[in-house]
Amino acid sequence: MHYFITTPRRRSRARGALAASAFQAMAAISVINGKIQEEEIEKIIEVYRQIFDRSLESDWVRGKVHAMMGQGFKIGRILGRKSILFNSSQKSLILQAAYRVAAADGAIDASEEGTLITIANALGMSVSQMNKLFSEIKSETVPVQSYGKNLR
C-alpha cells in the first residue's frame, strides 16, 4: 500500500500551484485580443477572491497580465506541465475561473473559446467534460468553489 503523507508545506505548495494556475488561465483569457480590458481585470480579481479568499490589487493584476502579454506566454504549455498536480475538481476550478473571465463582457468570442479549449486540453479534460462544465456554469448549477480555507 502507498500512503500519501500531507504536510503543511505540501499543502501550502499545492495551494500556491493551484492559485498560480488559475490566475494564469484567467490572465490568458484577458490578453487574447491583444489588449487588456478593464471588465476582465475586475473579473479576475472577483473570481480569485471568491476561490482563494484573497484580494488582489487591480494595479498588480494589470501589471502581471501586461507582463504575460509582453512575454507571449503559452498557457497550454504552462498548464500541461502542472496538470499532474491537480485532481479533477481542481482542474474544473481552473477552467471555470477562465470561463468566468471570458464571459465577463457578456459573450465568449471564437478566440476566447479557442483558449478555453486549449486550457481544457492542457489539463487533460475532454471536450465533453468541458462542455458539461460550461453548461452547468451557464445554468448556474455550479457555484464558484472556494479553496481559500479548504487547502490549509
Tell whether the model's pLDDT for residue 141 goes beyond 60. Answer: no
102 residue type, one letter? A
Summarised one tens digit per residue, pLDDT across range 17-40 is 899 999 999 999 988 877 788 888
Question: Residue 56: is its pLDDT beyond 90?
Answer: yes
Average pLDDT, the chain: 81
Q: Please name the residues in contact with 70: beta carbons below 8 A apart, sequence gap of 6 or more.
A: none
Render 79-111 in DSSP notation, one character per residue: HHHHGGG--HHHHHHHHHHHHHHHGGGS---HH
95 Cβ contact partners less than 8 Å away, ≥ 6 residues apart = 25, 116, 119, 120, 123, 125, 130, 133
Side chain identity at residue 147, one-letter code: Y
Q: What is the pLDDT of residues 70-80, one digit of tens each?
A: 776 788 888 88
DSSP conformation letters of the chain: ---PPP-HHHHHHHHHHHHHHHHHHHHHHHTTTSS--HHHHHHHHHHHHHHHS----HHHHHHHHHHHHHHT--HHHHHHHHGGG--HHHHHHHHHHHHHHHGGGS---HHHHHHHHHHHHHTT--HHHHHHHHHHHHTT-SPPP--TTTT-
Summarised one tens digit per residue, pLDDT across range 85-100 is 888 899 999 999 999 9
Asked if 111 and 33 count as a contact pair (C-beta separation under 8 A), the reply is yes
